[in-house]
């Protein structure tokens, strides 16, 4: 078993046990890896696929090594990720449904991984159904999803479910610390260290805060430690502890920046697919990229409000003498200063108002008006 699957067994014991048993008895033809983002589904799927492809290969170690590369050059591993907001029907048909009927190029098996399976439209899911019902003996499908309720029941019921839990906090902090150490080494190789890189204790506090704020989501934690994530946290704090006349606007701007980056990334991916032969009009590509950007912007704005709510939750913890459960550990001094003279009930009420605003935004109300109203409601409570 690969080191990756051994780590899966450590952090996700049920997943490790299920996949270990599957490799011993012979893997099923279809799996549904379901669980929150950042729980390790993608990494585990690649390691599991590598073990499947190594079985019966002329050189198992070489087959395993190539399958573990990202992107993988192994001809019998097909990895499908959505280039935009959704998987395109023709791409699913060509790269999974038709390709699954071709015999392996080498070895005895082929593996098809569909990342973000919830991004398949009903048409794509219905087209995939026959492949799931009557797969060739050599084909194995692994669907990954963080939104299993978005999949058709006919799809879910034909896959063996493998449930992932959020990563435990120690594992998350260890991974983020390793990331930070590698980044610091790169900075040192490039030249003099930056002030942020020099303050190891501050970096550790920031890592600890990101791990707690992400609730076990490694991808989210990494985002919070990146440039755009730091700006979003600062914007959420600006709304919670305002110093300007319109403190909701930095939050809107931060969401717009993330959405614009996502739109640009989607446009580049769609252009690459077009060059590879996927037929789309310029209008279709522009519309799809805009949908990706809008969705990411909306998700980021909701995340920003969630961070604002966490701030007030932490303020209540400080006021109740429970600083050890604070999420924003890198800003404890600011929390204590903001909490001075308040009651914990005020902070809890403020957190409830933030949650109410998040629900209002789900109803497609004006974002700016909703945030402005939230600010004035918070001002009445907190002064």
Q: Where in the chain is the domain with CATH 3.40.50.300?
A: 3-163
Q: What is the pLDDT of residues 209-242, one digit of tens each?
A: 999 999 888 889 999 999 999 999 999 999 998 8
DSSP code string of 217-256 = -HHHHHHHTSHHHHHHHHHHHHHHS--SS-TTHHHHHHHH
Is the pLDDT score of 322 beyond 90?
yes
Write out the two tokens for 120: 């398949």
pLDDT at 197: 47
Predicted model pTM: 0.75
- Average of per-residue pLDDT across 115-122: 92
- Average of per-residue pLDDT across 292-305: 93
Mean pLDDT over the full length of the chain: 89
Is the pLDDT score of 319 beyond 70?
yes
Q: What is the pLDDT of residues 272-282, one digit of tens each?
A: 877 877 777 88
User: Which of 3-7, 58-62, 258-262 is the least confident region?
Assistant: 3-7
Is the pLDDT score of 158 beyond 60?
yes
pLDDT at 196: 46
- Average of per-residue pLDDT across 252-269: 92
Name the residue among 124, 168, 155 with its Cα closest to residue 36.
168
What Rg do the C-alpha atoms of the chain give, in angstroms?
23
pLDDT at 153: 95
Question: At 30, which helix (H) or strand (E)?
Answer: strand 30-34
pLDDT at 65: 94
Long-range contact pairs involving 62-69 (C-beta distance under 8 Å, separation at least 24): 63/106, 63/107, 64/2, 67/111, 68/2, 68/4
The phi-psi region of residue 261 (left if phi > 0; otherwise alpha if psi is between -120 and 50; otherwise beta) is alpha
Top pLDDT among 358 and 181 is at: 358
Q: Domain 3-163 classified CATH 3.40.50.300?
A: yes
CA 5 from centre of chain:
20
Is the pLDDT score of 79 beyond 70?
yes
């Amino acid at each position: 078993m690969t080191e990756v699957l051994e780590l899966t067994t450590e952090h996700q014991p049920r997943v490790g046990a299920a996949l270990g048993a599957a490799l011993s008895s012979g893997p099923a033809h279809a799996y549904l890896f379901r669980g929150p983002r950042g729980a390790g589904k993608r990494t585990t799927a690649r390691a599991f696929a590598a073990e499947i492809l190594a079985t019966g290969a002329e050189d198992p170690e070489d087959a395993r090594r190539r399958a573990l590369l990202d992107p993988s050059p192994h001809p019998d591993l097909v990895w499908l990720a959505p280039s935009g907001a959704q998987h395109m029907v023709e791409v699913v048909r060509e790269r999974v449904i038709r390709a699954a009927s071709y015999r392996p190029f080498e070895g005895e098996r082929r593996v098809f991984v569909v990342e973000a399976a919830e991004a398949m439209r009903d048409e794509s899911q219905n087209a995939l159904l026959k492949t799931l019902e009557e797969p060739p003996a050599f084909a194995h499908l692994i669907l990954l999803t963080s939104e299993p309720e978005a999949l058709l029941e006919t799809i879910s019921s034909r896959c063996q479910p493998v449930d992932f839990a959020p990563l435990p906090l120690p594992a998350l902090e260890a991974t983020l610390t390793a990331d930070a150490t590698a980044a610091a080494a790169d900075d040192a190789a490039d030249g003099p260290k930056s002030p942020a890189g020099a303050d190891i204790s501050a970096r550790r506090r920031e890592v600890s805060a990101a791990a707690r704020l992400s609730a076990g989501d490694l991808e989210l934690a990494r985002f919070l430690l990146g440039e755009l994530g730091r700006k979003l946290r600062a914007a959420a704090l600006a709304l919670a502890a305002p110093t300007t006349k319109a403190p909701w606007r930095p939050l809107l701007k931060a969401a717009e920046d993330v959405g614009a980056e996502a739109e640009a990334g989607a446009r580049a991916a769609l252009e690459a697919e077009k060059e590879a032969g996927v037929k789309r009009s310029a209008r279709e590509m522009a519309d799809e990229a805009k949908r990706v950007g809008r969705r990411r912007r909306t998700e980021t704005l909701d995340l920003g409000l969630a961070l604002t709510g966490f701030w007030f939750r932490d303020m209540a913890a400080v006021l109740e003498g429970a600083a050890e459960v604070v999420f924003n550990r890198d800003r404890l001094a600011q929390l204590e200063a903001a909490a001075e003279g308040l009651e914990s009930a005020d902070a809890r009420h403020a957190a409830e108002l933030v949650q109410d605003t998040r629900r209002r935004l789900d109803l497609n109300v004006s974002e700016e008006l909703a945030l402005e109203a939230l600010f004035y409601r918070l001002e009445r409570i907190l002064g």
